[in-house]
Every structure is written in structure tokens, then in C-alpha cells.
Amino acid sequence: MIIAIDLGGMSAKGAVLQDGKLVGCARVKTNAQNSIEETVASLFALCKEVVLNAGGNLDEVTAVGIGSPGVIDSQKGEVVHWSNFSWHDVPLGKMLSEKIGKPVFVTNDANAAALGEAKYGAGKRFSDSVLITLGTGVGGGIILGGKLFEGYKSAGAELGHTVICKDGEPCSCGRRGCLEAYASATALMRMTKEEMQKNRESAMWNISPALSDVDGKTAFLAAEQGDASGQKVVENYVQALGEGIANIVNLLRPQAIVLGGGVSAQGEALLVPLRKYVSENIYVSQTYAPIEILCASLGNDAGLYGAGQYAVDRLK
Ligand code: BGC
């Protein structure tokens, strides 16, 4: 049994990866205000829960794989820097390993998702693909020649912190104009609220009667109903994400861009305008080297599959 954990800014999901399948899935809440010890304690509780759900016990567990946001020193299992949680040099792997008594391997969450898709999902068809997660932050995972590219000291592929607008919106990393500041679910919610405040007539107010009800779906649902304000938010969102993707395409020219994270649940409503924007803005045409833009076929489970697979690979 391998335990897989996908740690996120609002929740951590866990499961047991057994014979290539996820079983016993469970979830715990996470919060930037919690201490590191509290977060590790809830991850330990999550481990116990998923093993129990899967009908096993901790003795049967070989290892734990965690996908965590931030720059991860994957050799040491340390979260070197995670700006959303203000974590610096957190020995996450060691702390959980001391509780559970098993080896714990840690990689970046988006790297895990890229690995999951490449091994079990949509990425299987491609040797070169880039996965972008659209959640609390924007993460990147790069697969080149069928292998995960982590960069020097596994600090690379921070695609969310590439700048698409100089002096633009502030980002959690301290810079301005990062892709994350426009294409994360957090940014989508911010842009939705800003537009709602400008237009009291917008159908977005029927979907989310209070600003606190706004989520990543609000603008998309309104746009689908033909609401001009909702359409404007979606259009701006697509353009920003499209800018970021065009840069990635010009840099790496992968065969595919795979979208994961909460916002990717919008599926075709997001993909159709995005494909158009990207194909109009990349350097070498689609005719020469076609790029597929698609959603993670494992959906939000891509990170869990990948975290489990990461542990499997590290045990080899
Ligand atoms: C972090 C990345 C992470 C992404 C998604 C970003 O803010 O810098 O390391 O992969 O959020 O969680």
C-alpha cells in the first residue's frame, strides 16, 4: 500500500494507491493560519483514515507520497518555500515520517499532477507535455522525453510565477503581474467580484447573491446564460491564461498543455476560447507543430495519482 496525499491551500486529499487505482479517498481541511505541527497532525489523521477506508492497516503501508505546493527539495522532503502558507524550510517529509514510521517522499503538487497524468491519464499519449493547475495558486509540471523535469534542486517549473503583465496585479510571491495573479481560481474570484461591484444588474448576482458566495464557477455560469459581465470576466480570464500558455508553448513547444485544478472543471467552456487565443498567439503555427490543449483526464485526482507514483518511483 502506498498512501498518496495532495496538499492544497484549502484542503488535503488522501488515498491509497493500490494496483494503479486510488481507494479509500478522504479529505481534511487545511488553513494558512494553522501551525505546521497542526497541519502535519491532520495529514497523519488523513493517512490513518484512508488506510482504514481501504480496509487495511498502517503496517501494510510501504511509503507515503505527498504533492505539496511550493518549491520542494524533493531529495530532503522539505518545503523550501510556499508563499501562500508562508512556509520556509519545513521538513514536511521528516515530520510526517516520524509520526507514521514509514518513508515519506515529497514533490511539488503540480509536478505530481503532471506525473499522474503522464502515467495514468491524458498525458500518456505524449512524450512532451506541460500540466498547469488552476487552483488556489497556479502550478506547473513539465514532462520532457517522458520524464518529469524538476529543474536544479527541484526548484523549476514555477510556471505560475512567470510574469504576463509588467507592474500588474500583486502576486502572493511578492512580485507583480504573475500568471497566478490572473489565472488562479483566487484571481478568477477576485475579477468576478470586481466586475459584480461595477454592475449591479449582472446575472452573477443571481448566481452568487453575496460577494462571499462567489466561486470559480460564478462568472462561467453567468456567461453561459448570455450575461455580458460574466462573459467579460471569462474573456479576460481566458486571455490571461492564454498569454501564459503562449509563452510556455514558445519556450518548450510541448505536444500538449494539460489543465488541472478546480477551474479546469469548466471543460469546453474554457477550452474552446482558450485554444483559439493560443493558436492565434503562438510563434510557429498549429499547422507546423500542432498543440493539444485539454483537461486532465484524471480531473482533480491527477495530483493524488502522481503523489503515489512519485513514492513508487522513489522506492525503486
Ligand atoms: C506555488 C507552486 C504550486 C502552485 C499550485 C503556487 O503558488 O508557487 O509551487 O505548485 O501554487 O499549488
What is the mean predicted confidence (pLDDT) over 180-205? 98
Q: Where in the chain is the domain with CATH 3.30.420.40?
A: 2-115+301-315, 124-297
Ligand 1 proximity of 14 Cβ (cutoff 6 Å): no
Q: Is the pLDDT of residue 300 over 90?
A: no
Record: fold of 2-115+301-315: Nucleotidyltransferase; domain 5 (3.30.420)
pLDDT band at 23 (very low <50, low <70, confident <90, very high): very high
Give 295's strand partners.
Answer: 259
Q: At what angle do helices 302-315 and 109-120 cross, to 10 degrees?
A: 90
Whether the CB-CB separation of 302 and 131 falls below 8 Å is answered with yes
Domain 124-297, CATH among 2.170.190.11, 2.40.128.260, 1.25.40.80, 3.30.420.40: 3.30.420.40
* Three-class SS state of 64: strand
Ligand 1 proximity of 6 Cβ (cutoff 6 Å): no
Site to probe by mutation for ligand 1, drawn from 73, 90, 108 as the one with most ligand atoms within 8 Å of Cβ, is 108
Q: For the chain, what percent of residues have pLDDT higher than 90?
A: 97
Ligand 1 proximity of 262 Cβ (cutoff 6 Å): no
Residue pLDDT, tens place only, 283-299: 999 999 999 999 999 99
pLDDT band at 308 (very low <50, low <70, confident <90, very high): very high
Question: Taking Cα atoms as reference points, which of 89, 71, 79 lies closest to residue 43?
Answer: 79
The distance of Cα 311 from the centroid of its chain, to the nearest Å, equals 19
Hey, what's the torsion of the CAs at 128, 134, 160, 229, to 10 degrees? Answer: 120
CA of 138 to the centre of ligand 1 (A): 5
CA of 48 to the centre of ligand 1 (A): 26
What is the mean predicted confidence (pLDDT) over 100-125? 96
